[in-house]
Each structure stands twice: as C-alpha cells, then as structure tokens.
Amino acid sequence: MTPSTPKGGNPAAAAAAATTLPAATPPRPAQSGPVPPSAVPRTVVCPICRTPFHPRTTGGQCPVCFEQVVPREQVVRVIPVVTPVRAYLAAGGWRLVLLVLLMVYQVAMFIYLWHWLATQHLL
C-alpha cells in the first residue's frame, strides 16, 4: 500500500480522486487601469490624526501626519503626451533637428561677423 492510498481502499480509485481534485487557482491581479475621477472622494479624513483634506491636491497624503491615505496612483493623473513631433524625435529625428540648429547658428554668426567687419572697415 502506498501512502496516498486510503486504508482498505482501491489504489486506482485513489489515483482517480487525486487527478480530479481542483488545482489551486492563482489570485487574480488587481485592475491596474486608470481610476475614474468619481471613485476618489473630494474630501478624505485621515484615520491617524482625523484631519480632513483634499486627496487630489496632496497626492493622497495627509498634510499633517504625512500618512498615505489614498494610493498615489488613484489621485495623480499622468497623461502621456505622444505627439507626432515627439515620436519623430524619439525615432532618431533629434539628430536632424540638432544639425539644422547648428547650421542656423553658423549662418547667424557669419552674418553678425560680416556685419561687424564691414562696419569696422568702412570707418
């Protein structure tokens, strides 16, 4: 008899029962999407010092005792700015922009120096 076989039982029935047991399901991850503005109240009372405060202005942290009452992710709005210009610069376009700025600087310096030398030699 094996240790998994019940006393006086059938080994085949024990093996079938072992295979039909439900497996432990992993816990579901929390929803990590943006929280709607209506989910966070306008005024919150700190459980430590009983101070009422506005969680959106303080980042969810009590202004008196600095206890994090509301999770920061729920009250801070981070809006990613993805524009065509940013996408172009991130893809390597910053090199071309830098080259154009350098050329504009050189042309401006050439005009300034030419004007300065011309005024010096005319006097």
CA–CA dist 76, 68 (Å, integer): 13
Same domain, 42 and 73: yes
33-53 per-position pLDDT tens digit: 555 656 778 888 999 999 999
Q: Indicate the number of domains in the chain.
A: 2
Same domain, 67 and 99: no
61-85 per-position pLDDT tens digit: 999 998 998 888 888 777 777 788 8
Q: Is 12 part of a structural domain of the chain?
A: no
Q: Is 122 part of a structural domain of the chain?
A: yes
Residue for token pair 């019940």: 6
Give the residue numbers spanning the domain of 46. 37-77
> Residues 6 or more apart from 61 whose CB is under 8 A from it?
67, 68, 69, 72
Q: Is 58 part of a structural domain of the chain?
A: yes
CB 54 within 8 A of CB 70: no
Q: What pLDDT score was predicted for residue 109?
A: 98
pTM confidence score: 0.36
- For 60, phi then psi, to 5°, come to 85, 5
